[in-house]
Amino acid sequence: MKLYFAPMEGITTATFRRTHAELFDGADAYFAPFLTPSDNEKITKKGIAGLLPDQNPQGTPRAQVLCNNALAFHKFTEKIKCYGFSELNLNLGCPSNTVTRKGRGAGFLKDKTALSAFLDQIFAENDIRISIKTRTGYESGEEMDELVSMYNRHPVSLLIVHARAGLDYYKSTPDLAAFRRAYGKSKHPLCYNGDICSAEDYNRIIAEFPDLDSVMIGRGALKNPALFREIRGGKPLATGELIAFARKLCENYLPVMGCEKYTLQKLKEIWVYVMQNFPDEPKLSKAIKKANTLADFLSAVECLPEL
Ligand SMILES: Cc1cc2nc3c(=O)[nH]c(=O)nc-3n(C[C@H](O)[C@H](O)[C@H](O)COP(=O)(O)O)c2cc1C
């Protein structure tokens, strides 16, 4: 069973991925957050730069695109092929209003006729492997069967299903009934995604769906960066590892962000998830949230108790 680190925009940046891989093993690949093809060459090039080997010494991440226009998809594909990419992941899951109201991400699932025509075109026109990351539907998991039938008509290299509908955002429990229908019906290698936060969660999913190709983990691996190792039977996360992770993230982010303020912002975003391991430490959580300098942030992190 392959284990993938989920793409998380603003969080699982190239710097995050590289730092995570330096300290923790176990993820078979990292999916990079979406890039949106743009007419501005400079923006597209900057986005692609974050996928290249010098920023990703742990291995090439999987590239993801957020797009509902076949021509833009084609142009983007031609660009990333020049950098050696042979596979592209299509984002059909982003639930954010700014994205869905433009008919992208999970918003594309609303208009199945347009989505079907788009898929016909991109699979016919591009000689690159295309994987899909989808929700179970836009409004509800009732749409799963129709979506899987649509995906089955194309040579999708991997179908990743985040087991929630778009309108569920990241809330509610994953819709395993809808996922079960995808499991029964999909012709493609299938990847489960949604709320895997422990080795027990993972074991429950693979016991129920033993023929999965892979499992993708997002927020659970932000909370516990050693989760992939734990799932593979390795030792549990230790507080010392979180302290080392914080120090390394500071060291690696500072030259990239160019200043302490933005580095601190990045670290705080990640530590919102890490602090879920310490529900009995509201004072330390507050000190971390309120830290004005990296030194204050790190000294609060260094006070975290043993897990
Ligand atoms: C802050 C944040 C940013 C995300 N950005 C992306 C993204 O760029 N592309 C994508 O396909 N999914 C994105 N997701 C969704 C995750 O990849 C994943 O599907 C979702 O969090 C469910 O998995 P989990 O319960 O293991 O976190 C994002 C999620 C979060 C919380």
Give the whole-number percent of the chain exceeding pLDDT 70. 100
- Count up the domains in the chain and report the number: 2
Separation CA 289–CA 111 (nearest Å): 41
Q: How far is the CA of 5 from the centre of ligand 1 (A)?
A: 10
**Contact between residue 215 and residue 1 where contact means Cβ atoms under 8 Å apart:** yes
The answer, yes or no, to whether residue 171 has pLDDT greater than 90, is yes
- Domain-located, residue 307: no
pLDDT tens, 93-126?
999 999 999 999 999 999 999 999 999 999 999 9
Q: Which domain holds residue 9?
A: 2-231
Mean pLDDT, rounded, for 288-296: 98
pLDDT tens, 14-62?
999 999 999 998 999 999 999 999 878 888 888 999 999 999 999 999 9
Separation CA 133–CA 71 (nearest Å): 20
- Judgement on whether residues 99 and 21 belong to the same structural domain of the protein: yes
Ligand 1 binding pocket includes 162 (Cβ within 6 Å): yes
pLDDT tens, 218-269?
999 999 999 999 999 999 999 999 999 999 999 999 999 999 999 999 999 9
- Domain-located, residue 270: yes
- Judgement on whether residues 48 and 100 belong to the same structural domain of the protein: yes
- Domain-located, residue 129: yes
Q: How far is the CA of 134 from the centre of ligand 1 (A)?
A: 11
- Domain-located, residue 195: yes
- Domain-located, residue 136: yes
User: Which residue, 203, 231, 259, sits at the end of a domain?
Assistant: 231
- Judgement on whether residues 7 and 156 belong to the same structural domain of the protein: yes
**Which protein residue's CA is at the shortest distance from atom 2 of ligand 1?**
8
71 is written with which tokens?
């021509």
In the prediction, which pLDDT does 38 show? 84
Mean pLDDT, rounded, for 130-153: 98
- Domain-located, residue 82: yes
- Judgement on whether residues 256 and 273 belong to the same structural domain of the protein: yes
- Judgement on whether residues 223 and 247 belong to the same structural domain of the protein: no
Ligand 1 binding pocket includes 64 (Cβ within 6 Å): yes
In the prediction, which pLDDT does 91 show? 98
- Domain-located, residue 128: yes
CATH number at residue 164: 3.20.20.70
User: Which residue, 193, 210, 231, sits at the end of a domain?
Assistant: 231
- Judgement on whether residues 95 and 114 belong to the same structural domain of the protein: yes
Ligand 1 binding pocket includes 7 (Cβ within 6 Å): yes
Q: How far is the CA of 169 from the centre of ligand 1 (A)?
A: 10
Ligand 1 binding pocket includes 9 (Cβ within 6 Å): yes
- Judgement on whether residues 217 and 141 belong to the same structural domain of the protein: yes
- From the CA of 197, give the closest atom in ligand 1: 26
**Whole-model pTM?**
0.98
Ligand 1 binding pocket includes 133 (Cβ within 6 Å): yes
Eight-state DSSP code of residue 258 = -
Substitution candidate for ligand 1 out of 162, 201, 228 with most atoms within 8 A of CB: 162
- Judgement on whether residues 156 and 32 belong to the same structural domain of the protein: yes
Ligand 1 binding pocket includes 218 (Cβ within 6 Å): yes
Average pLDDT, the chain: 97
Amino acid of residue 219? R
- Judgement on whether residues 109 and 194 belong to the same structural domain of the protein: yes
User: Which residue, 214, 231, 248, sits at the end of a domain?
Assistant: 231
- Judgement on whether residues 133 and 218 belong to the same structural domain of the protein: yes
Q: How far is the CA of 272 from the centre of ligand 1 (A)?
A: 15
- Judgement on whether residues 204 and 274 belong to the same structural domain of the protein: no
Separation CA 50–CA 13 (nearest Å): 8
Ligand 1 binding pocket includes 148 (Cβ within 6 Å): no
- Judgement on whether residues 38 and 102 belong to the same structural domain of the protein: yes
Ligand 1 binding pocket includes 135 (Cβ within 6 Å): no
Give the whole-number percent of the chain exceeding pLDDT 90. 96
- Domain-located, residue 177: yes
- Quote the strand ranges of the chain, DSSP E: 2-5, 29-35, 62-65, 87-92, 129-135, 159-162, 190-193, 214-217
Q: Nearest-5° angle of CA 29, CA 57, CA 219?
A: 40
